[in-house]
Amino acid sequence: MTGTLTYTGKSGPGLTLTATVFPDVTDLDYQFDKGVVRVTYGTPSKITYLDLTAEVTITMTIASGVVTSTIST
């Protein structure tokens, strides 16, 4: 099962994404000790790291076999 991630927040030093959609997500790895989430998405698979902060809100919904995740700061 794959899903979709919508992300708003920092994506690196001086970089910010607003409502950026990552399609065909196969893995979300929350690395709280490093303050990042590792996202595996697309075909062929790509990996990107997105910042997590103390002010982050994470919402994940699974309905009718569809996974939707939203991360925003």
Measure the CA–CA gap between 33 and 30, rounded to whole angstroms: 9
Contact 65, 1 (CB under 8 A): yes
pLDDT in tens, the chain (73 residues): 789 999 888 887 888 889 999 999 999 999 989 989 999 999 999 999 998 876 788 888 888 888 888 888 7
CA dihedral 9, 55, 39, 30 (to 10 degrees): 170
Contact 24, 63 (CB under 8 A): no
- Sort 51 into a burial class: Cβ within 10 Å, 0-12 / 13-18 / 19+: buried
Model confidence pTM above 0.85: no
